[in-house]
Structure 1
């Protein structure tokens, strides 16, 4: 069995970056260390990947990773997948977070902190303005997006419109006519942002079924459990006739379930709930969800970004499939 660069580094007692430099004949590695690394790599059967071998020398071997959060399911899984692919070829990730708070505007992205420090930039689920995208382009380094991004850049994502269609069609197919929607944050209004596509799928399915969604059926949940809980309370206070909720993320869907329990409502007998993600805890709470492979998206985006750095490939849109996973949180409405 062959081993990766992490195992070579562990056995040789050095960092993955040192392994990469030693095997590529780069300076700043002592002869003794180079021989030890080469011997370990030979014994373990490690061969550097084509992407790593073709990268020009003198690079930082670091990818700038921009994300709003690291403690939420989608972002954590994308980051883990990306780092796994980067470590496999001796690259590091330089992480910058830009918290999207509810009370204050997000601080703008400042590319100057990345200049001369990274070979490329991976943006994970962070909605950027056109000016911010142009500023990143000014680094003269490849830029890739996961989850949200413009069509003129490398973007790996799911089909958010189709995910919204899958979730809403499931509820309408069960017989629900009054379906509320817990969306993301109010400032994510780009046509290519996930909340926009998921909202569009929801409204289109309802209208196709002859249901005109009322303005009050849509509430903002800020993509977290507490936001989903608070917004579902607001939704049901204003529209107690709602029998089902489509939340644009599993964490907001879990918050919707908690809100139902707060109100003495049973799920799914009194309120059906469906989310999007495939969260690890979804099975535990019996959540029906439109599942996506977040880790796979991060891993593929990192590999494609490395190809761009190495001068291969072109910026493209890669769409990952989704699948509806039916569990106990959805059922036909009460007669």
Structure 2
């Protein structure tokens, strides 16, 4: 059938423009490794032939699927929602689709790594917030595609993450600068996939205390799931039962910090007059509670991860071990204040208030 009587193909465009079919594919998919002159010739040829790029035809020429896969532990989180909301449009603008694999438990995880569906269905993989074993990392290394780790550091592999250690160090310094010396740290127990961040934040807290000459006291480090009201009450109770209770609490995430503020206020412990509370993340709940926090931007992380995966797809010579470390920033709000002084009105919370904290758990 003459070319005028059938749908034009990528080969027709290539012949008209005097380039290869793979160059036509790269040009019409908006990839960056095409010179302006060649791009203009290809686009003109496509217009003259009334050619529209087909993803299937493009994949036959380039061996690509036009899909970027994302591996996440959950979609039910502020972090994932913000990161994917910025990543998705960015990939679509590059004519790439987003395929999301949710791995909420160990059984799903084992199945994913046994089948590795991304090997057949995607050109690149973004791994969000997983603590992978050496064997799992090796399996991903064998995929033969770019694999970018997001919100985590992966040695020798492309990674995008915030400096959790520096962020927690800055947050603890904020409390130290307000005169607090008994500062508790509350970990978000059971936060699936985020132990890399958790370890970094605890390390930053301890570094700031050591820097200020404050002796390490492991009794000030407790853990509780943010959604478990009773566990949060019991964690506060343990801290208030100490011989020297804290005057400030640093929670490793905002949801947990908000739960601590609620528990303290139900116990008639004023925040921040008697107890300062600091969070980490700057989730929407932080603004609702007027919560002082250490802010990170998952939207920026999604965009940077998108830039990195596009660079790895477009340029075979791009650094396959590139790390991008994003900054955090302190957001002081209404839940942190100078440490209370001695005296009846400014005394630190005592043992009696530990019972009040436990009783607060009975409030509906």
Question: TM over 0.5: same fold?
Answer: yes
Aligned counterparts of 2:8 and 2:169: Cα–Cα separation in 1: 49
**Gap runs ≥5 in structure 2:** 1-6, 13-27, 36-57, 342-364
Shift in Å at residue 53 of structure 1? 6.7
Q: Distance in 1 between the 2:217 and 2:192 partners? A: 20
Q: Return the match for 1:212 from 202, 210, 215.
A: 215
Partner Cα separation in structure 2 for residue 324 and residue 134 of structure 1 = 37
Aligned to 2:335: 329
1:244–1:23 distance in 2 versus 1, CA, 3 Å = farther
- Residue 232 of structure 1, CA deviation: 3.8
Q: Answer yes or no: is the 8 Å Cα contact 2:129–2:193 preserved in 1.
A: no
Deviations 1:62-101 (A, max 9, x none): 111111121211121112121121111111111112226x
Q: Which shows bigger deviation, 78-87 or 255-264?
A: 255-264
Shift of 1:50: 3.0
Question: What corresponds to 1:50 in structure 2?
Answer: 31
Moved more, 317-326 or 55-64: 55-64
**Counterpart for residue 351 of structure 2:** none
Q: In structure 2, how many angstroms separate the alpha carbons of the residues matched to 1:112 and 1:125?
A: 18
The answer as to whether partners of 2:73 and 2:192 remain within 8 angstroms in 1 is: no
Which of 147, 161, 164 is the aligned partner of 2:165?
161
Give the paired residue count: 289
Q: Over aligned residue pairs, what C-alpha RMSD do you find?
A: 3.1
Cα offset, 1:325, TM superposition: 0.8
Distance in 2, matches of 1:276 and 1:182, equals 11
Contact 1:236/1:242 (CA < 8 Å) preserved in 2?
no
Partner of 1:195: 198
Q: Does 1:319 align with 2:300?
A: no
Counterparts of 1:1-335 in structure 2, within 5 Å, are 25=10, 49-51=30-32, 57-99=62-104, 107-108=109-110, 109-110=112-113, 112-185=116-189, 193-222=196-225, 225-227=226-228, 230-240=230-240, 241-310=245-314, 311-314=316-319, 315-335=321-341
Aligned-partner SS, 1:134: helix
1:36 maps to which residue? none
Whose radius of gyration is greater, 1 or 2?
2
**8 Å contact kept, 2:150–2:160:** yes
Q: Structure 2 CA distance, aligned partners of 1:183 and 1:324?
A: 19
CA contact (8 A) 1:216 1:235 kept: no
Which runs of structure 1 show a deviation greater than 6 angstroms over 4 or more consecutive aligned residues? Answer: 52-56, 186-190
How far off its partner does 1:118 sit? 0.9
- Write the distance in 1 (CA, Å) between the matches of 2:190 and 2:140: 24
Q: Shift in Å at residue 187 of structure 1?
A: 9.2
- Greater helix fraction, Structure 1 or Structure 2: 2
* TM superposition score normalised by structure 2: 0.71
Distance 1:139 1:24 in 2: 31
**TM-score of the aligned structures, taking structure 1 as reference length:** 0.77
